[in-house]
Amino acid sequence: MILRIVILSVILTGGLFAPSIFAEPTVNIIMEKTTYSYCERLFYIIEVSEVTGDPAIIHIRDEAGKGSSAIPIQISNLQNPIPSLIAFEKEVFQIGKYFVDVEYSGSEFTAEFNLIDSDNICIPQTIKQFLIEWLNEKMSDGYLIDAIQKYVDSKLIEIPFEINDKNIHDIDIPDWVKNVAYWWVQGGVSDKEFAEVVNYLIHENIITVNIGIENEI
């Protein structure tokens, strides 16, 4: 009788000494949205079933297969928000479908989104580096305004005077303007808000060229 009970137990439980089966960690990508336009920033959440200590490896690619190099993301929680630091720029990203591939502890997942055309105009990422150098006093006021005139669409920020070798060293920006620049670099001020501030400073003669009345902004 006891033997029959043991045999029945083995059949029902799969064996007294059956090896344990461990499930492989799973990974998922939760997209903030599936359609983006120019000047917006990609945002998604990497969701995992368990924290293993391994990083998640991200690749972002277009329909043609052209994509980014491997991006390691440290996974410290079951849900890990991933905000992009760079906005979609028309000069860099073509419209179309994109894919976000993630590999994590042996598991893989792919999400997708579409980038559509829009009339949005954003400040190129190049300007951020110029602003950082200016904030660190490694670039003069004149060269910063020159960079803005060269790289930012005039529909967004209009510099209503020509910058040349004679006046580039005479352009003056008040020190307190650095607060606004710092906020934009840190993402606390939008491109539109930063552009409005710069346009206002020029229009109100707060940013000036100090080489004569006829050359004042």
Q: Which of 14-18, 33-37, 138-142, 172-176 has the lowest mean pLDDT?
A: 14-18
**Nearest-CA neighbor of 171 among 191, 148, 196?**
148
The number of angstroms, rounded, from the C-alpha of 14 to the middle of its chain's C-alpha atoms is 51
Confidence class for position 15, pLDDT limits 50, 70, 90: very low
Rounded CA separation 211/200 (Å): 21
Mean pLDDT of the chain: 86
Cβ-based neighbours of 156, under 8 Å, separated by 6 or more: 121, 122, 123, 191, 192, 195
pTM, rounded to two decimals: 0.68
Confidence class for position 102, pLDDT limits 50, 70, 90: very high
- Write the pLDDT tens digit of every residue in 106-138: 999 999 999 999 888 889 889 999 999 999 999
- Write the pLDDT tens digit of every residue in 70-98: 999 999 999 999 998 888 988 889 999 99
Other C-beta atoms within 10 Å of 54: how many? 15
Confidence class for position 210, pLDDT limits 50, 70, 90: low
The number of angstroms, rounded, from the C-alpha of 209 to the middle of its chain's C-alpha atoms is 35
- pLDDT score for 22: 62
Q: Say if residue 69's pLDDT is above 60.
A: yes
- pLDDT score for 68: 86
Query: Which residue ranges form the domains of the chain, and what is each CATH number?
Result: 27-116 (2.60.40.1930), 125-215 (no CATH)
**Nearest-CA neighbor of 27 among 67, 68, 82?**
82
Can you read off the two tokens belonging to residue 136?
A: 């660190």
Rounded CA separation 175/159 (Å): 19
Amino acid at 127: I
Can you read off the two tokens belonging to residue 6?
A: 């043991």
CB burial class (10 A; 0-12, 13-18, 19+) of residue 2? exposed
For the chain, what percent of residues have pLDDT higher than 90? 59
- pLDDT score for 211: 52
Contact by Cβ (8 Å): 65, 9 = no
* Total residue length of the chain: 217
Main-chain dihedrals φ then ψ at residue 143, nearest 5 degrees: -70, -30
Q: Which sign does the torsion angle of CA 151, 154, 155, 158 carry?
A: positive
